């Protein structure tokens, strides 16, 4: 089988090389501190680790086929390097310059070249090799028994001589996962760029929708405006017209004529140097049901009110509870539901209309790691039972980045069973039936916690 190379470098947006280099150098200095602390913490707990080898991962193929699966690097490798390639390694040992083992296979079937831009490459000692197995010759002999491996291919690590007990040591991973929530200035700049560029696509998508485009055409308008290939996006775009907007992770792109469509929900981002934005917008045409149009206005207002809650010390689940309360009141105001606010909250009726969490940590991964983790030891705070889908239960702190994304949907699978329950009387079924065809609404921004409160990384570019 010929090696099929099916990955691409992350988009590099670098309008000010000097600034980017300074920020990246500071970013690496922070990573060095965190990795030193992670190793020290491991030693304090009885471990014998002195160094770490971080691996991007290996190329994969579809079962029974020689077609490669689009590659996505392991997040902790991308934290060090803006290089989305298989079999790239960073070697870290306290007191030494990090080594980048750059694997560039000898190949004439695919372009294997990697461009070492000085703004990031100058932070590493780069050793270029043609195979991962050659790394063993460059590792200090006295460190092998004290070397840990972070990555998805433990058998490769074993072949390099790394002890089984040091394959993905959880003490280290928990420490690093917890710290990933705190973004350096370099990381914030990448996320800002990712938001700015994604909005270019969102504007093009909205215009295509207003012009009568179908889901496929809207999707392509987004990609073209962003000059993206589909697998360069941080996640699969959600492009949902009308009733499909009630499917939270709707994955298809219908090509049928859509001149009569009245609602567009698009959830789409952009990736810069490994950092992805995650933005959702809902648009309607003038002919949409007046109650749905009013609902959209209300959700947009609620989303901004939730963003305004963000500041150090706030518990993230409190933002979700505020979203449920405000959505419940909006449903009452628009006569979609009946009864008092307390009745609806107690009976968990707004939960039927917003069944997902109000947001999640954001960074290298769209749903970034450590959202339920409360400390470097890995203590977990699970979400409350009635909001089990909430991905973030942490207390907010300076330099955290996450999404705020309230929604309101008309999902038959959730609503119809309630008709036979006692709480059925609190729902205006006639109006709900009229709104089923509209699907739903979600509005999502990416926000940064600051010393003074919050910086909306999305709205500053609209």
Q: Are 169 and 293 contained in the same domain?
A: no
User: What is the gyration radius of the CA atoms in the chain, in angstroms?
Assistant: 24
Alpha-carbon separation of residue 197 from 21, 23, 54, 185, 301 (angstroms): 21, 20, 30, 19, 24
Last residue of a domain, one of 179, 209, 230: 179
Q: Are 132 and 223 contained in the same domain?
A: no
Mean pLDDT of 103-127: 96
Calculate ∠ Cα 454-455-456, nearest 5°. 115
Q: What is the per-residue pLDDT across 148-162, written as a single tens digit (0 to 9) for each?
A: 999 999 999 999 999
Q: Total structural domains in the chain?
A: 2
Alpha-carbon gap, residue 384 to 394, rounded angstroms = 13
> Does any domain span residue 9?
no
> Does any domain span residue 152?
yes
Q: Are 230 and 165 contained in the same domain?
A: no
Last residue of a domain, one of 128, 148, 179: 179
- Amino acid 14: pLDDT: 52
H helices of 45-128, in order, are: 75-78, 118-121
Structural domain including 80 reads 17-179
The answer to whether residue 42 scores a pLDDT higher than 80 is yes
Q: What is the per-residue pLDDT across 306-338, written as a single tens digit (0 to 9) for each?
A: 999 999 999 999 999 999 999 999 999 999 999
Which position has the higher pLDDT, 287 or 2? 287
Three-class HEC string of 371-395: CCECCCCCCECCCCHHHCCCCCCCE
Residue 69 structure tokens: 């699966």
Mean pLDDT of 47-59: 95
Smallest CA-to-CA distance from 13 within 221, 268, 182, 191 is with 191
Mean pLDDT of 392-419: 98
Mean pLDDT of 362-389: 96
Place of tokens 């987004």: 222
Smallest CA-to-CA distance from 195 within 111, 100, 307, 277 is with 277
Q: Are 433 and 379 contained in the same domain?
A: yes
Q: Are 123 and 221 contained in the same domain?
A: no
Last residue of a domain, one of 179, 195, 212: 179
- Amino acid 41: pLDDT: 94
> Does any domain span residue 4?
no
Residue 117 sits in a domain of what CATH number? 3.40.350.10
Q: What's the pLDDT band for 7 if we cut at 50, 70, 90?
A: very low
Q: Are 423 and 363 contained in the same domain?
A: yes
Q: Are 54 and 168 contained in the same domain?
A: yes
Alpha-carbon gap, residue 66 to 39, rounded angstroms = 40
Residue 424 structure tokens: 């059925």
Place of tokens 């901004």: 304
Tell me if 383 sits within 8 A of 317, measured CB to CB.
Answer: yes
List Cβ neighbours of 38 (8 Å cut-off, separation of 6 or more).
Answer: 171, 172, 175, 176
> Does any domain span residue 11?
no
> Does any domain span residue 135?
yes
Put simply, whether the predicted model's pTM sits higher than 0.85 gets the answer yes
- Amino acid 12: pLDDT: 54
Query: Which one-letter DSSP state was computed for residue 130?
Result: S
Residue 289 sits in a domain of what CATH number? 3.90.230.10
> Does any domain span residue 127?
yes
Alpha-carbon separation of residue 52 from 77, 103, 150, 185 (angstroms): 11, 17, 7, 25
The answer to whether residue 10 scores a pLDDT higher than 70 is no
Identify each DSSP E strand in 99-236 by its residue range. Answer: 99-103, 125-129, 147-150
Q: Are 378 and 258 contained in the same domain?
A: yes
> Does any domain span residue 8?
no
Tell me if 350 sits within 8 A of 324, measured CB to CB.
Answer: yes
Mean pLDDT of 63-84: 97
Q: Are 124 and 255 contained in the same domain?
A: no
Alpha-carbon gap, residue 266 to 364, rounded angstroms = 21
Q: Are 158 and 191 contained in the same domain?
A: no
Neighbours of 301 (CB within 10 A): 13
Alpha-carbon gap, residue 359 to 352, rounded angstroms = 17
Identify each DSSP E strand in 256-390 by its residue range. Answer: 263-268, 271-272, 275-276, 279-284
Alpha-carbon gap, residue 146 to 51, rounded angstroms = 7
- Amino acid 2: pLDDT: 37
Q: Are 276 and 169 contained in the same domain?
A: no
- Amino acid 1: pLDDT: 35
Helix (H, G, I), strand (E, B) or coil at 429: helix
Q: Are 278 and 418 contained in the same domain?
A: yes
Helix (H, G, I), strand (E, B) or coil at 90: strand
> Does any domain span residue 1?
no
The answer to whether residue 5 scores a pLDDT higher than 90 is no
The phi, psi pair for 432, rounded to 5°, reads -60, -45
């Amino acid at each position: 089988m010929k090696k099929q190379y099916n990955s691409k470098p992350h988009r590099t947006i670098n309008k000010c090389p000097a600034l980017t280099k300074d920020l990246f150098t500071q970013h690496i200095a922070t990573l060095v501190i965190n990795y030193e602390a992670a190793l020290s913490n491991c030693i304090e707990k009885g471990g014998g680790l002195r160094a770490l080898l971080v691996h991007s991962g290996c190329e994969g193929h579809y079962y029974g086929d020689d077609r490669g699966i689009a590659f996505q690097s392991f997040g902790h490798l991308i934290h060090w390097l803006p290089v989305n390639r298989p079999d790239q390694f960073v070697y870290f040992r306290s007191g030494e310059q990090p080594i980048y083992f750059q694997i560039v296979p000898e190949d004439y079937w695919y372009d294997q070249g990697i461009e070492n831009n000085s703004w990031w490459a100058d932070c590493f000692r780069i050793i270029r090799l043609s195979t991962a197995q050659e790394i063993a010759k460059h590792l200090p002999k006295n460190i092998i028994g004290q070397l840990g491996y972070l990555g998805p291919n433990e058998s490769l690590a074993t072949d390099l001589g790394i002890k089984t007990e040091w394959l993905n040591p959880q003490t280290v991973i928990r420490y690093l996962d917890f710290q990933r929530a705190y973004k350096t200035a370099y990381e914030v700049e990448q996320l800002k760029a990712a938001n700015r560029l994604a909005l270019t696509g969102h504007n093009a998508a909205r215009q295509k929708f207003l012009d009568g485009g179908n889901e496929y055409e809207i999707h392509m308008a987004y990609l073209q405006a962003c000059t993206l290939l589909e697998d360069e996006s941080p996640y699969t775009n959600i492009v949902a017209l009308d009733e499909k907007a009630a499917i939270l992770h709707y994955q298809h792109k219908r090509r049928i004529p859509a001149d009569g469509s009245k609602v567009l929900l698009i959830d789409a981002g952009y990736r810069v140097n490994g950092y992805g934005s995650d933005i959702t917008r809902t648009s309607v045409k003038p002919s949409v049901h007046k109650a749905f149009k009013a609902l959209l206005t209300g959700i947009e207002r609620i989303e901004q009110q939730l963003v305004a809650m963000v500041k150090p010390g706030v518990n993230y689940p409190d933002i979700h509870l505020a979203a449920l309360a405000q959505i419940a009141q909006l449903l009452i105001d628009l006569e979609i539901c009946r009864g008092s606010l307390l009745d609806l909250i107690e009976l968990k009726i707004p939960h039927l209309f917003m069944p997902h969490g109000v947001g999640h940590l954001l960074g290298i991964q769209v749903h970034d790691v450590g959202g339920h983790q409360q400390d470097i030891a890995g203590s977990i705070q699970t979400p409350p039972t009635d909001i089990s889908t909430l991905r973030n239960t942490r207390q907010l702190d300076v330099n955290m980045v996450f999404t705020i994304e309230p929604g309101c949907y008309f999902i038959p699978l959730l609503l119809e069973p309630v008709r036979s329950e006692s709480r059925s009387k609190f729902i205006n079924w006639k109006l709900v039936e009229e709104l089923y065809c509209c699907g739903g609404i979600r509005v999502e921004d990416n926000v940064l916690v600051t010393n003074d409160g919050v910086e909306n990384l999305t709205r500053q570019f609209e």
